[in-house]
Amino acid sequence: MRPDEFAKTLGIDKEGKYYDDVYVIQLEDSNEFARMYSRLDKNENLDLDPEGIDLGTEGSTLVYLSDEFDVTLKSDFGEEYYAVEISEAKE
């Protein structure tokens, strides 16, 4: 399964782009970011990595792990950048 196919299994219908080996799905705004957080956090096939949490005033990073893929939810409040990044799981 490819990262874009995995995104569909998570209920993510929005199209993304590949940057090297990472599939990046840009989110419109903080509201879409919040909806995506809720979707990922409730997914039974993903586990939030305690070491992959970085919450700050400038932005945040949350890493969810599955057997095959790592899913990173990122925000940069100053740049108004919000995205989901999916890559092959790290060993």
Rounded Cα gap, residues 29 and 24, in angstroms: 15
Domain map (residue ranges) of the chain:
3-88
Query: Nearest Cα to 82, choosing from 8, 4, 27?
Result: 27
Specify the pTM: 0.91
Mean per-residue pLDDT of the chain: 93
Owner of token pair 């219908």 = 13
Rounded Cα gap, residues 8 and 31, in angstroms: 20
91 has a pLDDT exceeding 80: no
57-60 long-range Cβ contacts below 8 angstroms, 24+ apart: none
Rounded Cα gap, residues 11 and 56, in angstroms: 27
pLDDT at 90: 79
pLDDT tens, residue by residue, 54-88: 998 899 999 999 999 999 999 998 899 999 999 99
